[in-house]
Amino acid sequence: MSRSHYAGIDVGGTFTKIGLLNRQGRLVAKGQIPSDGFSDKKIFANHVKDALVRLCRAHGLRWGDIEGIGMGLPGPVDTDRGMVLSLTNIKKWERFPLAASLGAVWGKSVFLDNDANCMALAEARLGAARNARTALCVTLGTGVGAGLIIEGRIYHGPFFLGGEVGHIPIARGPECACGGAGCLERYVGNSAILDRAQRLLGPKITLEKASALACRGDSKAKRLWRETGEMIGWALSGVVNTITPEVIVIGGGVAKAGSVLIDAISETIQRHAMKQLKKKVCVKKALLGNDAGLIGAALLVKS
Ligand SMILES: [Zn+2]
């Protein structure tokens, strides 16, 4: 029974999720701990290891049963050197050889990647894009995260920023934190959708309520999500024409708006992409939900 499981860690600004994946790709255990004090790498290493050991014990496993540990981080990662390039929530981790350092302390191989890339890997191996060799996974939230899977593997590119479709410019629009302007994220990030929702549906609306209203058939709420989907579809048509993904997976909280959003993305791609490609590409809702990042982090061990 030795080395029968992979551990995943999904590091967030407020909470860090941990989980154990068996060889069949099933998440057999999960938990979470507060990310307080994680700027201190010693505190991080100790707290996360303790939590993982407890999780192992609670499921009849020993530390020795863990083959390796994968970790998803909310920022770009130099996967060749196992090094975080930039993080907004956790200070002092940048350009530090985190994978090697944690690996030495924990006595395990440690693999790092960006959290959106982890989600994409999980959806490509076990979720909505299973069996697709080339897939794009877009995660809608405060920002627009994305991961690109090419020939079954995460595409990082030479600067570890491959697949960042959230920063495709779609208009001569406002400046973006990435250094560009008019990026897709400025139009379909949560705060931009909320601004439009408040104009259409009143000042007290939330995105959850707007999703629920759309699911019940409210015409203004449906218009909100249809317009959001059209902007995403417009940007992704260019991705379809260049990368030729077989599947585009849409995940994140906003995807709860359901078929109206997914249909608008799909129909816009049908209007704008090359005719040979629009018949091939399929837009799907993410399958693995909030566990995708954790599952994908664990999958880094064997990817
Ligand atoms: Zn941007």
What pLDDT does residue 214 have? 94
**What's the CA gap between 63 and 107, in Å, rounded?**
10
User: What separation in Å is there between the alpha carbon of 190 and the centre of ligand 1?
Assistant: 14
pTM: 0.95
User: What separation in Å is there between the alpha carbon of 250 and the centre of ligand 1?
Assistant: 19
Distance of CA 86 to CAs 34, 37, 97, 145, 178, Å? 21, 18, 13, 15, 12
User: What separation in Å is there between the alpha carbon of 80 and the centre of ligand 1?
Assistant: 25
Cβ(47)–Cβ(34) below 8 Å = no
Q: Which residues of 9-39 are buried (b: 16+ CB within 10 A; e: fewer)?
A: bbbbeeebbbbbbbeeeebebbeebebeebe
**pLDDT lower than 50: segments of the chain:** 1
Alpha helices in 107-206, H assignment, sequence order = 115-126, 185-188, 190-201
User: What separation in Å is there between the alpha carbon of 100 and the centre of ligand 1?
Assistant: 31
As beta bridge partners, residue 113 has 72
Q: Which residues contact 67 (CB under 8 A, 6 or more apart)?
A: 3, 4, 5, 6, 108, 109, 301, 302
Antiparallel, parallel or unpaired: β 83-84 and 144-150: unpaired
User: What separation in Å is there between the alpha carbon of 258 and the centre of ligand 1?
Assistant: 25
User: What separation in Å is there between the alpha carbon of 76 and the centre of ligand 1?
Assistant: 14
User: What separation in Å is there between the alpha carbon of 83 and the centre of ligand 1?
Assistant: 23
User: What separation in Å is there between the alpha carbon of 272 and the centre of ligand 1?
Assistant: 22
User: What separation in Å is there between the alpha carbon of 11 and the centre of ligand 1?
Assistant: 22
**Host H or E run for residue 251:** strand 247-251
What pLDDT does residue 65 have? 96
**What's the CA gap between 51 and 217, in Å, rounded?**
44
What pLDDT does residue 212 have? 94
